[in-house]
Amino acid sequence: MDLRPLIAEIASQADDFLAGAKSRDEGRAGIAEFIIAEYPILGPADRKKVIQSVMAILEHDDFFGTQYATGAFDEEPESEM
C-alpha cells in the first residue's frame, strides 16, 4: 500500500486537528488519535509509518518550533532609572 497520499493528506490537515498541541509528544498523540478515528483500517505497522512520516513533515515545516521559543517574543522589561 502506498501511504504517501495519506501522509500528505494528514500533514495538510494538521493545523486543524493539532491546534492545541503544545509539544511534539502531544502532536504525535494527536496524529495517532486522528489516524485511529479517520483510518481505522490501518494496521499498527502502517500507522507507525504514517505517524513518523507526518511528524517528519511537521518538524521540517517547523510546526512545533514556536513552542520552544518561550519568552523569545516578550518585550524586555523597562528599566527604572
pTM given for the model: 0.74
Task: Catalogue the long-range contacts made by 7-14 (C-beta closer than 8 Å, 24 or more residues apart).
Answer: 7/50, 7/53, 7/54, 7/57, 8/57, 10/34, 10/35, 10/50, 10/54, 11/53, 11/54, 11/57, 11/58, 14/54, 14/58, 14/63
pLDDT surpasses 50 at 63: yes
pLDDT in tens, 15-61: 898 988 878 899 999 999 999 999 999 999 999 999 999 999 998 88
